[in-house]
Amino acid sequence: MRENLHRFFRAARGVGVHVSPAESIDAMRAVSQVGFSDRTILRDALLLTLAKSQDEKLALGDCFDLFFSQPEPRRDQPEGVDQDASQDTDQASSSGAAGDAGGGSPQQELGPLAQMLLSQDRNAIAAAIASAAGAASLSDIRYSTQRGIFSSRILDAMGLQRLRDELDGLTASNPALAERLRAALDALREAVRDTVSQGLALYAREEAENLRNEILRNAPLARIERRQVAEMRALIRQIARRLRERYSKPRKRQRRGHLDVRRTLRRNAAWGGVPFLTAWKRKHRDRPKIVALCDVSGSVAQVSDFFLLLIHSLHEVVDDVRSFAFSSHLIEVSQILETKSPEEAMAEIMSKVGFGSSDYGSSLVDFEKDFMSTLTPQTTVIVLGDARSNNLDPRADILRRISERSKRLVWLNPEGRLAWGFGDSEMPRYATFCSVVRQCATAQQLERAVSDIVATYQ
């Protein structure tokens, strides 16, 4: 029971259900009470102890149905015919053995696998396959290319080599029985392949998802196919959640401060030094701010979409985040990102200012006129854009003033470094006033850049 549950927990994690050690212990205790006999009760017990949302409940239910469904060996004949054939086989085997004994040869005895196949005991065959799958560590399967390897391991664990030797002997002594045994072996191979396919569906999902995410993380954001946009947005949300988990706890500890032992002892002198009341050392920390300027013109609109989604998801890490979008002119989009769903927010931002021809100079003029006062010595300004201003005045003087008023200026460029400074790119001129200039063409580079920015506030 313990081993089966451990494999089920691994399969549950593969379908996206987060199973902690404490939850697995609770599930095992519940299963020890209800047992394995009633699958409906077992299913309800596992769903109650492991699923934490409706989506996890649905995913876990499908995983349970797949995990506890055992494939049956293929049968080409009706059950009654199989039973008669089994009796004929036993008679042929005994008569053949008697004839061999009369000729002075030793009596041939078939092994357990051969007897099981000839008896057509489906329950025994299914149990033997399940046992051999455990012995072959089927739960370690990760890729579809491993199907043949694990099928061979399972068949070897069931005694395939001995069965082959017996088939060689029966071919000469009892051809009819040998032919019947070969047909049963073909059905067994099909059943084993079904078991391996089931194991691949159960245990390889997590590895396949990780591989797919790794490919997406390193894929250029500007060249993501339309069918991959939803997957990339889900990946960006995972990145944002990971960054929140990484930096939220240290920030909370810093707000609380460190224990002041001397003040704590003085405050609790009336109670004999028992620390009923605690005192904490707190260091004054300037409230950090992030101002994000995102180019949403036609050439980088898709990259900006992902960037705004990530910045919006980090509001729990940095208290004060203000976002602006621009192409030929600039508007603030903070309220849109905070009050609407990501899909609605992106659609509204693009309808207002997106997909136009980029004019960095005009957008910087808009920012200086309306929002320059938002910058303080504690502000980090992040600009996401390709710095291509269509040969218009780039107004680098305004960027210099932004850099002087803020703590630092970070530029994240989705283009490769080899393209900087060529054509209408003003990146070399802008880079003069930036504290950090990073290429940010993939989700992995975006995660590293934002992680470095947020880490400075911890």
Q: What does the pLDDT look like over 324-363, one tens digit per residue?
A: 999 999 999 988 888 887 778 888 988 898 888 899 999 9
d(CA 106, CA 290): 88
- In our burial notation (b when 16+ CB lie closer than 10 A, e otherwise), range 243-280 reads bbeebeeebeeeeeeeeeeeebeeebeeeeeeeeeebe
pLDDT tens-digit series, residues 14-25: 777 888 888 889
DSSP code at position 349: H
* Structure confidence at residue 140 (pLDDT): 82
Strand partners, 291: 322, 381
Asked if residue 88 has pLDDT above 70, the reply is: no
Which of 34-48, 65-79, 139-153, 435-449 is predicted least confidently? 65-79
Which of 20-29, 296-305, 355-364, 438-447 is predicted least confidently? 296-305
Residue of 121 and 317 predicted with greater confidence: 121
CB 387 within 8 A of CB 410: no
For residue 123, the surrounding DSSP H or E stretch is helix 122-135
Residue 349: how many CA atoms within 13 Å on its side-chain side?
34
pLDDT-derived band at 430, boundaries 50, 70, 90:
very high
The string of DSSP letters for 191-252 reads HHHHHHHHHHHHHSHHHHHHHHHHHHHTSBGGG--GGGHHHHHHHHHHHHHHHHHHHHHHHH
* Structure confidence at residue 449 (pLDDT): 83
pLDDT-derived band at 93, boundaries 50, 70, 90:
very low
* Structure confidence at residue 404 (pLDDT): 95
Output Rg (C-alpha) for the chain, integer angstroms.
34
Residue of 224 and 148 predicted with greater confidence: 148
d(CA 94, CA 91): 5
d(CA 315, CA 339): 13
Tokens standing for residue 26: 């609770």
Which of 31-45, 92-106, 237-251 is predicted least confidently? 92-106
Question: What percent of the chain shows pLDDT beyond 70?
Answer: 84
> Among candidates 52, 71, 193, which has minimal Cα distance to 126?
71
DSSP code at position 142: -
CB 60 within 8 A of CB 51: yes
Asked if residue 249 has pLDDT above 70, the reply is: no
pLDDT-derived band at 456, boundaries 50, 70, 90:
low
CB atoms within 10 A of CB 36: 12
